[in-house]
Copies of this chain bind each other. A is one copy, B any other.
Amino acid sequence: MEKNTDAWQLVAGLDHRDTDHYVDKTHPDSFHKTVLQQTLDDLTVDELEICGAETQFCVDTTIKAAFDRGYPIVMKHHMTSTEEDDLIPVPVMVTHYERIWDHHLVTF
């Protein structure tokens, strides 16, 4: 997703605020070569709630990196999404990852 293109814009209808923080990223691991850790430190954030896209890429990778960095993580179900691929249907993909997250990595 190229920066400043139409596809890169915030989705219409998103409830965003002037006080929100946005972090540019180029890798599924949202901490990798970004200011995310510094931003969380500056805000003295000590717990994360994660949602978004895509389930098996950015969301899963960032959950596991955040867990490894010691963050308690809250995840509601049905708050991630992904695109169809040729191996695993979307509802199965989401259920698979929610089970993995629930079991070891996050609380509800």
The answer to whether A88 has its CB under 8 Å from any CB of chain B is yes
The answer to whether A77 has its CB under 8 Å from any CB of chain B is no
- The chain A residues found within 8 Å of chain B, CB to CB, are 27-29, 31-32, 56-57, 60-61, 64-65, 67-69, 87-88, 92, 95-96, 99-100, 104-105
Main secondary structure of the interface of A (DSSP, over half): helix
Q: Tell me if A57 and B88 are in contact (CB < 8 A).
A: no
4 further A-B contacts with Cβ under 8 Å, apart from A31-B68, A68-B68, A88-B88, are: A56-B100, A61-B67, A65-B65, A88-B96
* A27 to B103 alpha-carbon distance, docked (Å): 10
A65: chain B residues at CB < 8 Å are 64-65, 67-68
